[in-house]
Amino acid sequence: MATALETVEEHRSHGGIQGVYRHASASTGTDMTFSVFVPEHEEGTKLPVLWFLSGLTCTHANVTDKGEFRAACAEHGIVFIAPDTSPRGENVPDDEAYDFGQGAGFYVDATQDPWAEHFRMRSYIEQELPELVGGHFPIDMNRQSITGHSMGGHGALTVALRNADRFRSVSAFSPIASPLACPWGEKALGGYLGADRQAWREYDACALIEDGARLPALLVDQGTGDGFLEEQLKTELLIEICEKAGMPANIRFQDGYDHSYYFISTFMAEHVAWHARHLKQSGAE
Ligand X SMILES: N[C@@H](CCC(=O)N[C@@H](CS)C(=O)NCC(=O)O)C(=O)O
Residues that bind ligand X (CB under 6 A): 55-58, 62, 98, 149-151, 259-261
Q: How far is the CB of 113 from ligand X (least distance, A)?
A: 26
Q: 277: how many CB neighbours lie within 10 A of its CB? A: 12
| Residue 103 or 191 having the CB closest to ligand X | 103
Taken in order 129, 135, 136, 138, the sign of the CA dihedral is: positive
Name the closest residue to ligand X (Cβ).
55
DSSP-derived secondary structure letter, 39: -
The arrangement of strands across the sheet holding 167-173 comes to: 6-13, 16-24, 31-38, 79-83, 47-53, 139-148, 167-173, 218-223, 250-254
Note whether 58 and 85 are within 8 A (CB): yes
| Residue 120 or 259 having the CB closest to ligand X | 259
Q: How far is the CB of 155 from ligand X (least distance, A)?
A: 11
The secondary element (H helix, E strand) that includes residue 275 is helix 261-279
DSSP-derived secondary structure letter, 200: G
Query: Among residues 65, 66, 157, 169, which one has the least CA distance to residue 106?
Result: 157
| Residue 203 or 261 having the CB closest to ligand X | 261
Distance between first and last Cα of the chain: 23
Q: How far is the CB of 259 from ligand X (least distance, A)?
A: 5
Note whether 87 and 284 are within 8 A (CB): no
Q: How far is the CB of 203 from ligand X (least distance, A)?
A: 16
| Residue 76 or 88 having the CB closest to ligand X | 88
| Residue 75 or 99 having the CB closest to ligand X | 99
**From CA 60, how far away is CA 285, in angstroms rounded?**
28
The secondary element (H helix, E strand) that includes residue 147 is strand 139-148
Q: How far is the CB of 44 from ligand X (least distance, A)?
A: 37
Catalytic residues: 150, 226, 259
